[in-house]
Amino acid sequence: MIHSIKKTMLFCLVLLIANATLCSQDNLSALMPMVNYYELPQGKPTKFKTNKAKVYMPQKEVGAVYGFLEKVLKNRLGLEIVPSESSKAPISIQINRELKGEEEYVISNKNNRLILEAGTLKGLFYAIQTLDQIFLGDIYHSKQQQIAPIYIHDQPRFPFRGLMLDPARHFLPVADVKFFIDQMARYKFNKLQLHLTDDQGWRMQIKTHPKLTEQGPFYTHEELKDIVAYAAQRHIEVIPELDVPGHVVALLAAYPELGCTNTQQEQKIVGKTENMMLCASNPDVFTIYNDIITEVAQIFPHHTIHMGGDEARIPKNWLKCDKCLSTIKENGYKEGRELMQPFFKEMKKIVDMAGKKLMLWCELDSEYAPATEFLFSYDKDITLITWRWGLTPTCLELTAASGHNLIMAPGEFAYLDYPQLKGDLPEFNNWGMPTTTLQQSYKFDPGYGYPIEKQQHIQGVLGTLWGEAMKDINRVTYMAFPRSLALAEAGWTKMEHRNWEDFLTRMYPNLYNLIKLGVSVRTPFEVVNR
Ligand code: TNX
């Protein structure tokens, strides 16, 4: 008897606990990145108990994102959408021109009415992603098929929130790039940089120079257009990167005469040979890049083209090249790196002619000059990306003074090709990389704690997935997740709304979701007290 009473009590206790958990549907529990403004008004939750939902969509143009909403309601709640003419339908999705921010949106849910609003389709797309995460939180924690009353008015801290893929080092088929874009879109990333050329491969078809792609896989124009369109539907812009004057062995293998005179006779094995450079004094270099950039500009609508500018081994190339040495002499240059000036002036002319703006890595390597001095006089409309470990404060100071736009990809926080822990992957081509833990990535404040007036030129964040040590998309996503969730939040959410413990709680439902979608993620076991 006593035994059975005990059993019943235990059963009740379990029920009580289970019930408490079930009742606590929490709209914020899976938001990633965290929103910048919300209210949790009193009131009854909106329940979704039927298998059909009437949706009011007053403007035709909203049709462009309707399919995404349809999928969310279907996948999360098993609901079929039924279009409705009535503004009193339980769900509304609409353009509201009073919301002026390009990425701003509002979600309001009260009195059994769920309304998504934005001034743009992009804003509505983001509202849908947030809604998806509200449902995800319910599925993961509470299973109530409901949304408690909420008001969210959100927009990002920074306009540029990007990730970079490197199919030059290890090729990534189109389907894999699209799969990656899907995951980026969930977290409101809006730029995908594609590193298309390097020593290990030239990955873009150039119709005027088919020799460039004679070795190895590459994307055709049609495939690139397909990627660009797929990304655009998800409000992601693709930025092409063609790295010059270094990282060019794949091009030199096809056109050895475009290298410095001292390297022209050397054998070029794509994938093995490194550290050669384009000759800065051969006009044919600019002729071929004129053709290339013309084709690039036709395919990528984004207003910038990234032309690299990093890790140019000047002493081994320009300083040993007969042609470059004469130019150095003629111009009275004291340092070989001064040749960067006319080189990028010429490249910029070509990019300008193609109607694009130039983007470059902020190269401050002290191998060639003291980092505190070296930021060659880039034109004002060039955007720089800071990356070198330890040199971001210098780059920030220099660009704040020079007025260049700056994107933040500091090695300390944003290099997602670095291992996530000591001893973790990658197991090959690891050149002694430092580690970037999840917690370290989360600590990233893209404003670097600067006063607001000194942050005006900071456009946002870029997480890099350099591909030397990543053979395929599963390894790429393993390196990207969960750290890119931290970067997504760094780019979107103001510092005052960010909190490590809170981030971890919201991370778990998202990892669960990614795993269910077949995304290879790393289990961040080190953040769990076990
Ligand atoms: C440096 S970051 C590079 C890349 C490498 C990367 C590896 C940058 C502008 N250049 O070419 O892939 O390090 O972490």
Looking at residue 50, its pLDDT comes to 85
DSSP 142: I
Residue 356, pLDDT > 60, answer yes
CA nearest ligand 1 atom 7, residue = 466
State the pLDDT confidence band at 370, using cuts at 50, 70 and 90: low
Give the pLDDT score at 6.
Answer: 47
Helix intervals (H) in 106-234: 121-137, 174-186, 221-233
Radius of gyration for the chain, computed over Cα atoms and rounded to the nearest angstrom: 26
How far is 239 from 224, CA to CA, in rounded Å?
Answer: 11
pLDDT at 24: 80
pLDDT at 410: 98
One-letter amino acid at 137 equals: G
Determine the pLDDT at residue 12: 38
* Residue bearing the CA closest to ligand 1, atom 6: 466
13 has a pLDDT exceeding 50: no
> According to the model, what pLDDT value does residue 242 have?
98
302 given a catalytic annotation: no
Please tell me whether residue 17 adopts helix, strand or coil conformation.
helix
Question: Which among 335, 317, 331, 304 is positioned nearest to 159, based on CA atoms?
Answer: 304
Residues 437 and 525: beta-carbon distance below 8 Å: no
Q: Give the rounded distance of the alpha carbon of 495 from its chain centre.
A: 19
- The dihedral over CA atoms of 290, 296, 301, 306, expressed in degrees to the nearest 10, equals -80
Q: Specify the residue with its C-alpha closest to ligand 1, atom 8.
A: 310
Say what the pTM is: 0.95
Q: Are 172 and 465 within 8 A, CB to CB? A: no
pLDDT digits (tens, 9 = 90+) for 240-291: 999 999 999 999 999 999 999 999 999 999 999 999 999 999 999 999 999 9
Instruction: Summarize the confidence of residues 66-79 as an average pLDDT.
Output: 96
Average pLDDT, the chain: 94
For residue range 387-400, list pLDDT tens digits in order. 999 999 999 999 99
The rounded distance, in Å, linking the Cα atoms of 109 and 55 is: 14
CA of 166 to the centre of ligand 1 (A): 10
pLDDT at residue number 48: 85
**Cα separation, 262 vs 273, whole angstroms:** 15
Residue range 90-119: average pLDDT? 97
pLDDT at 366: 59
pLDDT tens profile 126-171:
999 999 999 999 999 999 999 999 999 999 999 999 999 999 999 9
Q: How far is the CA of 466 from the centre of ligand 1 (A)?
A: 6
Catalytic annotation present for 284: no
Nearest to 136 by CA among 509, 519, 485: 509
What residues are in contact with ligand 1 under a 6 Å CB criterion? 310-311, 361, 387, 415, 417, 466, 468
Question: pLDDT grade, residue 367 (50/70/90)?
Answer: low
Say how far apart CA 107 and CA 94 lie, in whole Å. Answer: 11
User: What pLDDT digit, counting tens, does each position of 422-464 carry?
Assistant: 999 998 999 999 999 999 999 999 999 999 989 999 999 999 9
CA distance 405 to 386: 11
Lowest mean pLDDT among 6-10, 207-211, 402-406: 6-10
Is 247 catalytic? The answer is: yes
Residue 9 pLDDT greater than 70, yes or no: no
**How would residue 14 be classed by pLDDT, with cut points 50, 70 and 90?**
very low
**pLDDT tier at 49 (50, 70, 90 boundaries)?**
confident
